């Protein structure tokens, strides 16, 4: 969820009343010779609403907020003797209700006789803001189960009950945090003298795989619990953030019969500063799929920053993926990314994405789609950079300049070494990474050692010709060593070189990732020579076959 804040302030006015009357002392009754009057006045501040839509369903009754106009406040208080103020027993749902009326600029509450109180120490036991239909909009969470969302008590710094010390002649300000009680995010509101602030939340989604003794991969059925981290590794559980253990949804598809499991998503409080959470996962039996050993658990701590790092560019939460019994075992032969989807139908061949979401219906799953909301094949200027990433959609330019031409007078473009596999999925040659033009090579030491490959620039739609030739790359391998020499033709300046080498097929055509991918050896050379050959050394398994891709930004010399 995006961050939002609900500010409410409520006034507590203390007025001295002098009386010559006296009463016999009664149980639960405070001496009323000095009275203080509590009234609530609210000012609705005009803040811009902030909202965020989550694609995943969230487990655990995560509250959202409403835009409905508030009309009343319900409160319940106890005095220092434990008696309910005005005889309104909050345990029985008998609250003091205070109506709200507009004053033109905001909202104020009418005065009520029940809140003309003796000087004393009170506890605020219940506080809620409602609309005209008696729908609760916001509520202050409690530290126990009495008034609803107790699992959110750890979301606020001071859950109810809150102590209020009323003294004659003193204007008291009390801070109270409330959470939205409905399913929408809300604007910010301000009420005089009590400050109310909604607690920001972030979403953690968890998915897992379980492997039995035969190392067969199954989608895991599991329970999930969360606490604030206590700071003590030997006793890590702080305040509970879930109402007990939450179990993910599982079942079987009919045709063919296959087990499936859905992720479990929970909301976590995201306050100012660093929040650390302690998560505990228990792997459960999955009837019809597998039997898990009793008491099989995983646990970990995770910070709010690490949770937010799981979010994709659209602000939606990706999965935290755990594995049990599968850590050192390979994926199934026909499932390269262990997501339970066979390679031949997986829309992200090397990226874990069991949901197979494809928002733009371009055949490339959102998890690996460079442009998940629009078709990657849209490239008006044919510079190999999809329109969604191209800052100059109608004028070709190199990737190093975000698809825009260099404006210093040079003619510059992006270039790729020609290979036997194209990046684009439409060619159906087994690589199927994106819609960009360009190539990668599955290099055979036995048949191709010491081969020179041409490098072409501006070859949109993989159309090559001698006018587009800008350089060469010579590839040699001996044992587990790879040597690649890149050289530009006369009149061409090399501005930037990226190289990918690996035993594994590349999973991205983004050159900036070539030196960061696991199980690969790559480089980024920001200042290559345009006069002498640029020689680079890499390592691979030495089995005689490896993948290689060479990318460059080039400019014509002036």
pLDDT at 480: 93
> What is the distance of C-alpha 457 from the center of its chain?
38
Whether omega for the bond prior to residue 256 falls within 30 degrees of 0, making it cis, is: yes
Do residues 427 and 414 make contact, with C-beta atoms less than 8 angstroms apart? no
Give the contacts of 444 (CB within 8 A, at least 6 positions apart): 544, 545
pLDDT at 100: 66
Do residues 433 and 370 make contact, with C-beta atoms less than 8 angstroms apart? no
pLDDT at 501: 96
Sign of CA dihedral 215, 219, 224, 230: positive
Do residues 556 and 491 make contact, with C-beta atoms less than 8 angstroms apart? yes
pLDDT at 401: 66
Output the CA angle 189-191-196, nearest 5 degrees.
70
SS3 per-residue string spanning 14-51? CCCCECCCCCCCCCCCCCCCEEEECCCEEECCCCCCCC
pLDDT tens-digit map of 110-141: 667 777 677 888 898 888 878 888 887 777 77
The per-residue pLDDT string of the chain (558 residues; one tens digit each, 9 = 90 and over) reads 322 333 333 333 322 222 223 333 444 555 554 555 554 433 222 222 222 322 233 334 444 566 777 788 888 889 999 999 888 888 787 888 877 665 555 455 566 777 767 788 889 888 887 888 888 777 777 776 444 333 566 666 777 888 887 766 554 555 667 676 543 322 222 222 333 445 677 888 888 888 887 767 788 999 999 999 998 888 999 988 887 888 988 888 776 677 888 888 888 888 778 889 999 999 999 999 899 998 899 999 998 888 888 776 655 656 788 888 875 555 666 776 667 778 778 877 666 677 677 777 777 777 777 677 776 667 776 666 777 777 777 776 666 566 776 554 457 888 999 999 998 876 777 787 776 788 999 999 999 999 999 999 888 788 888 878 999 999 999 999 999 999 999 889 998 999 999 999 988 888 877 877 777 899 999 889 999 999 999 999 999 999 999 999 898 877
pLDDT tens-digit map of 440-473: 999 999 999 999 999 998 887 888 888 789 999 9
> What is the distance of C-alpha 435 from the center of its chain?
27
Q: Which two tokens stand for residue 197?
A: 């602030």
pTM: 0.35
Do residues 262 and 286 make contact, with C-beta atoms less than 8 angstroms apart? no
Q: How far is CA 539 from CA 125, 178, 439, in A?
A: 67, 57, 21
């Amino acid at each position: 969820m995006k961050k939002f804040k609900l500010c409410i302030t409520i006034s507590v006015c203390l007025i001295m009343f002098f009386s010559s009357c006296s009463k016999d002392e009664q149980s639960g009754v405070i001496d009323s010779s000095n009275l203080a009057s509590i009234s609530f006045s609210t000012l609705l501040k005009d803040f811009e609403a902030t909202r965020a839509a989550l694609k995943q369903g969230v487990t655990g009754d995560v509250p959202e907020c409403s835009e409905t106009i508030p009309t009343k406040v319900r409160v319940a208080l106890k005095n220092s003797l434990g008696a309910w103020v005005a005889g309104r027993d909050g345990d029985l749902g008998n609250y003091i209700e205070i109506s709200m009326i507009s004053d033109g600029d905001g909202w104020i509450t009418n005065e009520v006789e029940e809140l003309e109180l003796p000087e004393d120490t009170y506890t605020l036991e219940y506080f809620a803001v409602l609309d005209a239909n008696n729908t609760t909009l916001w509520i202050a969470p409690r530290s126990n189960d009495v008034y609803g969302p107790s699992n959110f008590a750890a979301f606020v710094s001071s859950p109810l009950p809150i102590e209020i010390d009323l003294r004659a002649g003193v204007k008291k300000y009390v801070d109270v945090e409330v959470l939205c009680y409905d399913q929408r995010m809300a604007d910010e509101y301000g009420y005089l003298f009590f400050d109310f602030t909604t607690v920001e939340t972030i979403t953690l989604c968890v998915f897992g795989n379980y492997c039995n003794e035969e190392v067969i991969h199954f989608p895991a059925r599991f329970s999930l619990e969360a606490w604030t981290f206590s700071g003590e590794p030997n006793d890590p559980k702080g305040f509970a953030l879930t109402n007990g253990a939450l179990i993910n949804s599982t079942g079987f598809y009919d045709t063919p019969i296959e087990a499936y499991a859905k992720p479990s998503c929970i909301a976590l409080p995201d306050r100012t500063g660093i929040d650390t959470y302690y998560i505990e996962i228990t792997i459960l039996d999955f009837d019809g799929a597998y039997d898990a050993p009793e008491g099989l658990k995983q646990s970990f701590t995770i910070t709010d920053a690490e949770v937010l790092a799981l979010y994709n560019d659209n602000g939606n939460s990706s999965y935290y993926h755990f594995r049990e019994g599968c850590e050192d075992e390979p994926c199934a032969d026909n499932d390269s990314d262990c997501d339970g989807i066979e390679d031949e139908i997986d829309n992200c061949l090397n990226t874990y994405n069991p949901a197979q979401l494809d928002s733009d219906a371009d055949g490339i799953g959102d998890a690996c789609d460079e442009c998940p909301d629009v078709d990657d094949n849209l490239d008006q200027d044919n510079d190999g950079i999809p329109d969604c990433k191209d800052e100059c959609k109608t004028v070709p330019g190199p990737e190093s300049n975000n698809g825009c031409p260099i404006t210093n007078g040079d003619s510059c473009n992006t270039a790729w070494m020609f290979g036997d596999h194209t990046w684009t999925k439409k060619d159906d040659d087994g690589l199927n990474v994106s819609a960009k033009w360009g190539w990668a090579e599955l290099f055979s030491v036995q048949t191709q050692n010491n081969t020179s490959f041409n490098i072409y620039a501006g070859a949109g739609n993989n159309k090559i010709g001698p006018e587009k030739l800008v350089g060469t790359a010579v590839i040699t391998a001996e044992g587990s060593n790879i040597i690649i020499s890149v050289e530009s033709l006369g009149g061409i300046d090399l501005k930037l070189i990226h190289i990918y080498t690996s035993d594994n097929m590349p999973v991205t055509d983004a050159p900036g990732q070539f030196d960061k991918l696991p199980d690969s050896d790559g480089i980024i050379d920001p200042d290559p020579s345009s006069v002498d050959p640029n020689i680079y050394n890499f390592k691979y398994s030495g089995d005689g076959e490896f993948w290689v891709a060479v990318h460059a930004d080039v400019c014509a010399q002036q």
